[in-house]
Chain A
Amino acid sequence: MSGFASGLVGAFSEAWAEVRIHKTRVLMSLIGVAVAVAALTSVVGLGSIAEQAMIETYERQSGRPATLIVNVWGTGEVPPDALAVSAAFDTVVDRYQIEYAGAFTHSSQTVQFVDGAMPVTTMGVEVGYGTLHRVVMTNGRWFVEADEQRLAPALVVNEAFYARMGWPELSGHPTVTLLGDTKTAAVVVGVIPEKWEGEEPVMHMLNSAYLRITPPSVVAWSPPMLEAWVPTELSDELTFRIKRDIAGALGEGVNVDVSRQDYQAWGGTMDPFGPFKLIVTGVSILVLLLGALGLVNISMVTVKQRIREIGIRRSFGATAGRVFFAVMMESVVASAVAGVVGVMIAVLVIQSDLVQSWITSGFPVDLPPFPVEAAIIGIGAATLVGALAGLLPAIVAVRVKVINAIRY
């Protein structure tokens, strides 16, 4: 066993000395490998970062996998009873021990701003909605349980809404007036970013507040929908059961629909960088192969120059296998080093502000850190290329006839 260890260490140090001696030449061919690895690693890293960013954006819009939406509407003239619908929701949430569930409503409330009144899209939500949709705040906070007890409803508004208010300090508990049958003062507690550029003012309020300020006749026309976050593997089964249970509870004259809304249900993530990634991957594989060819070329030249040296080594006890391994290791060691350099370049590129703002293209996303698998792929590809490039010269080196090599 000691023979194995010394053989391995010995071959490695031979290879390292060889690389060191021919460093200029090796360096030249390795620049190609390093550049290619940098490109490849950047693309892979960029891809997975962009995908993660996309996923977060999708989850903000339509919930995390698996999010089920329960929709209830009447078949005839009469809308279903909102309270009965709420009760049926609560029953299924309890029955299936759904971790996050919340009714939400879409409505429109007229809001009095300083420069005039306007209808504003209003989402009635539960506290858990913030978790389910990964809501990030640009200012203030999301709803908490204590907000249910407020007399003046708490509001979480988007940037456009906040701008209409003139960006007041949230610490001063700024209020707006909601115009309806009665006037209601509501307090803005948090601000969320716009979902897209130029989004209209939008506000969120808790369902309890919504029901309090809205006449039952209005509520009845837009019955709440239920959003439930369930384990992905149970989503099909629960889709069926929730539909059956709620339909059963509400009886005749009511339609119930349950469907998955999260991005995984509608075909996964579409990578907006797809075509770009394809091109850069193709080019960097090409560059990597060219770098490998350069490496083959250089090691062939150096092997030919070193036939005498190989003969000398053989005369001092180097076996054919050892010579093969040492020559091969030269390429592997050199290109692995180039791979590490390439990965470092890729990390620097991807972490740069310019690239980061380009990936997020203005969307408010916390970018995940540089993906480890991209680094592993980069170094792995470099090492593989080194091994392939080392194969041919290693075969040449083994075929050296010792007596011819050292004859003068």
Chain B
Amino acid sequence: MTILRLEAVTRTVALPDGSPLHILRGIDLGVAVGDHVSIVGRSGSGKSTLLNLLGLLDSPTSGEIFFEDRPLSALRSGARDRARGRDIGFIFQQFNLLAGRTALENVMTPLLYASGRKFWQRRKLALEMLDRVGLAERANSMPEQLSGGEQQRVAIARALVRGPRLILADEPTGALDIETGASVMQLLDSVAQQTGAALITITHDANVAALADRHYRLDRGVLAPVDVRRVIALAEPEVAL
């Protein structure tokens, strides 16, 4: 079953001098339950712009995005926000934990926008999730007291705590050293698999990309499938691209 489908999606922004910048040119992509997709591409190729569209944070200039087979253009902004909160979890390169809040409070944040059991039992659910990423005893630590790898694990717990059907990770290992990045990715991959959520990972790291089942490359606003071996070759020496 498709969670998200992009049909001929383009995204164009106006530059300060008024000329249009075509960041994305005709993207077609379908993501189904349990999918693990990787997208590689140079810096500035439009990866984050694509991720914002996938995460319902932005609207396409043309084309259509279907969320659970409903066209997004038919959703009001409040409904879109609620759908995002319920079904999509974000993981950012810079972790984006809320400063001044403990790890536990950070993981509880998405549940503040839930209702029913998930809202009222948010502390318990967040603690369970922290335990799953191996940080139960760091629940009361502030983000700045945690290492980069630990912070990203907290971010993973936060992205998964509401049980989303789609996880979007924008260069999740970009701010981590290779070893830490690998272990964080292992964790993300396994937790996503356990919950049956689809995972889209944007990355530079070939080893990270290799964990996915389907591989894409974004080049000058065009998305094309690639062979996993070519992904590794592409990713190794970035300058060679």
Which residues of A are interface residues toward B (Cβ below 8 A)? 2-3, 6-7, 9-10, 13-14, 17, 21, 308-309, 312-322, 402-403, 406-408
24 residue pairs of the A-B complex, CB under 8 angstroms, read A6-B114, A6-B119, A7-B115, A13-B112, A14-B112, A17-B101, A21-B100, A21-B101, A308-B96, A309-B99, A312-B98, A313-B109, A315-B55, A315-B84, A315-B90, A316-B84, A316-B109, A316-B113, A317-B113, A318-B85, A319-B78, A319-B81, A320-B78, A403-B57
Interface presence of B69 (CB below 8 A): no
Least CB distance, A132 to chain B, in whole angstroms = 62
Known: A316-B85, A403-B52, A408-B93. A10 touches B112 (CB 8 A): yes
Query: Other CB < 8 Å A-B pairs besides A7-B115, A403-B58, 14 of them?
Result: A3-B115, A6-B119, A14-B112, A313-B113, A314-B57, A314-B81, A316-B109, A319-B78, A319-B81, A320-B81, A322-B113, A402-B57, A407-B48, A408-B92
Q: Complex formed: what's the CA distance from A316 to B77 in Å?
A: 14
Is A6 a contact partner of B110 (Cβ separation < 8 A)?
no
- Contact residues in A for B205 (Cβ distance below 8 Å): none
Interface presence of B35 (CB below 8 A): no
Is B58 a contact partner of A317 (Cβ separation < 8 A)?
no
Least CB distance, A58 to chain B, in whole angstroms = 58
Is B84 a contact partner of A317 (Cβ separation < 8 A)?
yes
- Contact residues in B for A322 (Cβ distance below 8 Å): 113
Q: Complex formed: what's the CA distance from A403 to B90 in Å?
A: 13
Which residues of B are interface residues toward A (Cβ below 8 A)? 48, 52, 55, 57-58, 77-78, 81-82, 84-86, 89-90, 92-94, 96, 98-101, 105, 109-110, 112-116, 119-120, 158, 162
Q: Complex formed: what's the CA distance from A313 to B110 in Å?
A: 8
- The listed residue with most B CB atoms (<10 A of its CB), out of A313, A316, A403, is A316
Known: A6-B115, A6-B119, A407-B48. A321 touches B78 (CB 8 A): yes
Is B92 a contact partner of A406 (Cβ separation < 8 A)?
yes
Is B113 a contact partner of A10 (Cβ separation < 8 A)?
yes
Is A317 a contact partner of B82 (Cβ separation < 8 A)?
yes
Least CB distance, B204 to chain A, in whole angstroms = 15
Closest to B90 in A: A315
Known: A2-B116, A10-B113, A406-B92. A317 touches B98 (CB 8 A): no
Q: Complex formed: what's the CA distance from A80 to B26 in Å?
A: 115
Closest CB pairs A-B (n = 5): A317-B85, A6-B119, A317-B113, A3-B115, A316-B110
Least CB distance, A299 to chain B, in whole angstroms = 16
Least CB distance, A303 to chain B, in whole angstroms = 15
Which of B89, B94, B109, B120 is close to A408, meaning CB atoms less than 8 Å apart? B94
Is B113 a contact partner of A318 (Cβ separation < 8 A)?
yes
Q: Complex formed: what's the CA distance from A381 to B181 in Å?
A: 54
- Contact residues in A for B58 (Cβ distance below 8 Å): 403
Least CB distance, B184 to chain A, in whole angstroms = 18
Q: Complex formed: what's the CA distance from A319 to B85 in Å?
A: 9
Closest to A5 in B: B115
- Contact residues in B for A7 (Cβ distance below 8 Å): 115
Is B115 a contact partner of A317 (Cβ separation < 8 A)?
no
Q: Complex formed: what's the CA distance from A6 to B117 in Å?
A: 10
- Contact residues in B for A312 (Cβ distance below 8 Å): 96, 98, 109
Least CB distance, B40 to chain A, in whole angstroms = 19
Q: Complex formed: what's the CA distance from A60 to B234 in Å?
A: 100
Known: A10-B112, A408-B93. A315 touches B98 (CB 8 A): no
Least CB distance, B163 to chain A, in whole angstroms = 12
- Contact residues in B for A21 (Cβ distance below 8 Å): 100-101
- Contact residues in A for B99 (Cβ distance below 8 Å): 309
Closest to B114 in A: A6
- Contact residues in A for B115 (Cβ distance below 8 Å): 2-3, 6-7
Closest to A322 in B: B113
- Contact residues in A for B119 (Cβ distance below 8 Å): 6, 9-10
- Contact residues in B for A3 (Cβ distance below 8 Å): 115-116
Is A318 a contact partner of B81 (Cβ separation < 8 A)?
yes
Which of B86, B89, B120 is close to A6, meaning CB atoms less than 8 Å apart? B120
Least CB distance, B60 to chain A, in whole angstroms = 13
Least CB distance, B224 to chain A, in whole angstroms = 24
Is A6 a contact partner of B109 (Cβ separation < 8 A)?
no
Closest to A320 in B: B77
- The listed residue with most A CB atoms (<10 A of its CB), out of B89, B98, B110, B116, is B98
- Contact residues in B for A318 (Cβ distance below 8 Å): 81, 85, 112-113
Known: A17-B105, A407-B48. A309 touches B98 (CB 8 A): yes
Q: Complex formed: what's the CA distance from A408 to B48 in Å?
A: 10
- Contact residues in B for A10 (Cβ distance below 8 Å): 112-113, 119
Known: A7-B115, A316-B110, A316-B158. A406 touches B81 (CB 8 A): no
Q: Complex formed: what's the CA distance from A314 to B88 in Å?
A: 12
Closest to B159 in A: A316
Is B86 a contact partner of A316 (Cβ separation < 8 A)?
no
- The listed residue with most A CB atoms (<10 A of its CB), out of B89, B119, B120, is B119
Q: Complex formed: what's the CA distance from A120 to B159 in Å?
A: 93
Closest to A407 in B: B48
Least CB distance, A18 to chain B, in whole angstroms = 9
Least CB distance, A89 to chain B, in whole angstroms = 74
Least CB distance, B151 to chain A, in whole angstroms = 13
Q: Complex formed: what's the CA distance from A7 to B100 in Å?
A: 22
Q: Complex formed: what's the CA distance from A320 to B90 in Å?
A: 18
Q: Complex formed: what's the CA distance from A315 to B90 in Å?
A: 7
Least CB distance, B167 to chain A, in whole angstroms = 12
Closest to B98 in A: A309
- Contact residues in A for B98 (Cβ distance below 8 Å): 309, 312
Q: Complex formed: what's the CA distance from A319 to B80 in Å?
A: 9
- Contact residues in A for B158 (Cβ distance below 8 Å): 316
Is B110 a contact partner of A317 (Cβ separation < 8 A)?
yes
Least CB distance, B106 to chain A, in whole angstroms = 9
